[in-house]
Amino acid sequence: MGKVVMYSTVSVDGFIADENDQVGPLFDWMSSGDVPLDGSGDVKVSQASYDYIRPYWDEIGVTVVGRHVFDMTDGWNGKPPSGIAHMVVVTHRPMPEGWDPAAPFHFVDGVEAAMARAQELAGDRTVEVAAGDVGGQVLAAGFVDEVAMDVAPVVLGSGKRYFGSVDAQHLLEDAHVVIKGNRVLHLRYRVRR
């Protein structure tokens, strides 16, 4: 079974979006370099960011997101982003009307069932969990092995918290990844067991 990584870009004050779900300058780092991160060429980062992010993306087998993120992105038009093979959507609602059931999206009720499905689909590859409310629930349930953050040099002041509504203490090991890119600091911590 692969590891579970909670991941997102985050402001220095701990937010992944503002109160209106706008990310503002959080993702400026994804256009701050000259190295294409994917085949589209739309995302260009520094060499340091590329050397960290590209191998990470390549190890992801499944990404777990909440229904809110799925709805905001229009389900990525049925194609998971960044070349990921499958998406697991945590939701209490059925798949959207007219949704292609052959698309590699799996609608699952609750984080425990979502993680079981994600780990089944990922095999020995990484299960990525989007930070925010669902990520916080997965952390609280004890499934997260590592916390990965791309810290952007911006203060949002308020908004959607990286750890969602987690209200208990969770200890992390010292950072085992600390990489400075253009307009970003990539950090990765193992969850202390």
Domain, as residue range, for 101: 4-190
pTM for this structure?
A: 0.95
What is the per-residue pLDDT for 65? 97
What is the per-residue pLDDT for 1? 80
What is the per-residue pLDDT for 40? 82
- Write out residues in the chain with pLDDT < 50, as ranges: none
Work out the widest C-alpha separation in the chain, in whole angstroms.
Answer: 46
Instruction: Provide the domain count of the chain.
Output: 1
What is the per-residue pLDDT for 3? 97
Helix-strand-coil split of the chain, %, nearest 5: 30, 30, 40
What is the per-residue pLDDT for 34? 95
Residue 32: which CATH number?
3.40.430.10
What is the per-residue pLDDT for 42? 87
Decide: 18 and 159 in contact? Cβ < 8 Å. yes
Decide: 66 and 88 in contact? Cβ < 8 Å. no
